[in-house]
Structures are given as structure tokens and as C-alpha cells.
Amino acid sequence: MATNPMHQFEVHRIGPEIKLGEIDISFTNASLFMLISSIAILFVFNLGTKKNSTLPSKLQLLAELSYTFVSKMISDTAGSKAKPYFAFIFSLFMFVLFCNMFGMIPYTFTVTSHIIVTFVLAIFIFIGVTIIGFIKHGFGYLKLFVPSGVPVLLLPLIVVIEVISYLSRPISLSVRLFANMMAGHTMMKVFGGFVISLGIVGGWLPLSFSVALTGLEILVAFLQAYVFAILTCIYLNDALNLHH
Amino acid sequence: MSKDTFKTRLEIAKKKLLKKKLYQDNQPASSLGAAFKMSTELVAHVAVGTIIGFILDKTFGTKPWLILIFFFVGVIAGIINVFKSAKKMQK
């Protein structure tokens, strides 16, 4: 039995080694669970939207509820101009949510507990939003770094601060998701280990902690997907409706 | 269930939806989200400031100075950011 709490995060290869030049692109357990999540999303939404009856089935209800949830989130935070980006934010939210939720099943692998996965998602959002901002406003987008009503003497400092806070977006976005998922899963594993080592006498307390933590982790899994999507909306809002 | 009762029920449900706001804001979830947002952003600002200072130090060869300056600028940026989000929340 693996008692190391970090053992669950190990990436290992499944099947043969595939190399593209110097880069290792073999199929790993991380790729497997990304694939499973994507297929599960396609499955739910294809079946859910097949028959659109007035009395919805459970799957249809799920699909419709998540549609309205994301649609309302976008219109609340980024306004009507963000409607064309619905498909992107919806798939982002669903992917992160399904990856987090699949990680809650025992013996599975949590894709989002790896910083490289979340960082790639975040950096693509960051680059995409910056490009959208420059397309919509041209060089006027740089006004984002110069807030109005600041004395000229303070301006250089403020501009540096604004640039730092703009550049910190992908880092805070990725670190938040990764740290929450990894910390939660490690904690669950540690408390699980206590149950075994304390045995039948003292094991009941950590066992009850584990049960409570599982509930908390399911909440965090949903919440982090929500926060990830809503922050994308906020960044998109900054790019689309430039004002200060 | 006959078709008529379903129709009347549908009508009643539609009227109810029109009356009140379709979806209430889930306040606890979004404020917990805001807390998560603030805590990581504070750290991320400091990290980015330090990284910028480190890179500038390497390019200009002014070893300890720029990293020190940008570290504190990052701290200031992080704190200002928390103030901004707090102001937004109070609105």
C-alpha cells in the first residue's frame, strides 16, 4: 500500500513511449483522465440535448441548468458584449469542473492538481484576452495601465503597479486552482493514513474528519471551477468594456 | 396525469417565473470565491514583482537592487489590489 500522501499525484506512462523530436508526448494517466472528462462532457450534453421535451429528463435538466448558470454568470460579470465567448467559457468551466469532480472518485487522478495543466489554461486565457483587448481598442488598450485622476508625480509608480497586477493574473489564476486541489487531496490522504495507523481504537476521529473533508472537497471542486470561469469573465470584461 | 392539468401547471410555473427574479444570486459561494481570489492575488503580485526584479537584475547586472525595489513594489501592488476588491465589495 502506498502510504506516501504525494504518491497520488505521480504521472506515469500508459502504453508505449512516443517521442516527437526531443519532446516526450507519451500517453499518461493525466492524458487519460483529461480524455475521460472530455468524453463525459460530450456524453452528458449530447444525450441531454437530444430530446428536448417540456418535461425534462434528469440529463436534460442537468444540461439546461448548467447552460443557464454559465450564461447568467457571463451576462452578470461581462455584459452582453461577451456573448460570443460563451462557448469558450462554458467549455472551460465544464472541463475544470469535470476534472475536479473525477478527481474526487477514489483511485482516480486529479488532472487539475498539476500546476502545468492549470498554468497552460491560464496562460492561454491571458494571451487570448490580451489579443481581444488589442483588437477591440487598438493601442488604446494600454490605457488600462494608466488610471485616470492620478497625479503626474505618482504616475510611473502606478503604471508599474498596474503592469505587475496585469501580469500576475495568469499566476494567481493557475496557482489558486492547483493549490486548492493539491492541498485538499493531500490532506484527505494524510487523514486516511491516520485511520490506518491508529487502528480500531483511535481511528474513529480521523475517519470522521475524512468524511467531513470529502464534503468540503466536493464544495471546493465546484467552487474552484466557478472561480476560474468567473475570473475569466472578469478579465474578458476588462478587455471588452475598457473603463477606469 | 392528464394533459390539461399539465398545461395549467406549466402556466402557473411560467407566471411564477415572471414574477420573481429567475435566479437568485448564490451569495455565500461568490463571497467564498472572492476570499480565495484575494488571498492568492496578494501572493501572486509579490511573486510577479520579484520575478520582474530578478529578470531586470540579470539583464542590467545591478544585482541586489532592482529585485529589492520590485519586491516592495509587488507588495504595494498586492495591498492596493486587496483595497480595490474590498471597495468593490462594499458597493
pLDDT band at A3 (very low <50, low <70, confident <90, very high): low
Tell me how close the Cα of B73 comes to any Cα of chain A, in angstroms.
7
The string of DSSP letters for A172-207 reads HHHHHHHHHHHHHHHHHHHHHHHHHHHHHHHTHHHH
Nearest chain B alpha carbon to A231: B37
**Is the model's pLDDT at A173 over the cut of 80?**
yes
**Is the model's pLDDT at A244 over the cut of 80?**
no
pLDDT, one tens digit per residue, over A128-143 is 999 999 998 888 888 8
Mutating which of A66, A115, A168 best tests the B interface, going by the most B Cβ atoms within 10 A?
A168
Q: Decide if A82 contacts A237 (C-beta within 8 A).
A: yes
Q: Provide the grid cell at A42.
A: 460530450
* B40–A179 CB contact, under 8 Å: yes
* A224–B45 CB contact, under 8 Å: no
pLDDT, one tens digit per residue, over A174-184 is 999 999 999 99
* A54–B10 CB contact, under 8 Å: yes
Chain A residue numbers touching B37 (CB-CB < 8 A):
172, 176, 227, 231
Q: Percent of chain A scored above 70 by pLDDT?
A: 98
ipTM of the complex, rounded to two decimals: 0.73
- Give the E-state strand segments of chain A in sequence order: 19-20, 23-24
Nearest by CB: A164 against B36, B43, B52: B52
Domains in chain A: boundaries: 7-240
CB proximity B72 to A under 8 Å:
no
Q: Decide if A60 contacts A53 (C-beta within 8 A).
A: yes
pLDDT score for A119: 93
- Which residues, numbered 45 to 64 in chain B, qualify as contacts with chain A under a Cβ-Cβ cut-off of 8 Å? 45, 47-49, 52
Please enumerate in sequence order all residues whose Cβ is within 8 A of that of A180, keeping only pairs 6 or more positions apart, or say none. Answer: A220, A224, B36
The string of DSSP letters for B14-63 reads HHHHHHS-SS---HHHHHHHHHHHHHHHHHHHHHHHHHHHHHHHHHHT-H
Please enumerate in sequence order all residues whose Cβ is within 8 A of that of A220, keeping only pairs 6 or more positions apart, or say none. Answer: A180, A181, A184
In angstroms, rounded to a whole number, what is the distance separating the alpha carbons of residues A106 and A177? 20
In angstroms, rounded to a whole number, what is the distance separating the alpha carbons of residues A191 and A11? 23
Q: Decide if A136 contacts A149 (C-beta within 8 A).
A: no
Q: What is the mean pLDDT of residues B55-77?
A: 89
pLDDT score for B31: 73
pLDDT score for A129: 93
Tell me how close the Cα of B9 comes to any Cα of chain A, in angstroms.
12
**Is the model's pLDDT at B71 over the cut of 50?**
yes
Lowest-confidence region among A111-125, A156-170, B20-34, B56-70: B20-34
The string of DSSP letters for A83-119 reads GGGHHHHHHHHHHHHHHHHHHTSTT---GGGSHHHHH
In angstroms, rounded to a whole number, what is the distance separating the alpha carbons of residues B22 and A69? 11
CB proximity B66 to A under 8 Å:
no
In angstroms, rounded to a whole number, what is the distance separating the alpha carbons of residues A75 and A64? 16
**Is the model's pLDDT at A194 over the cut of 70?**
yes
Q: Percent of chain B scored above 70 by pLDDT?
A: 82
Q: What is the mean pLDDT of residues A8-35?
A: 84
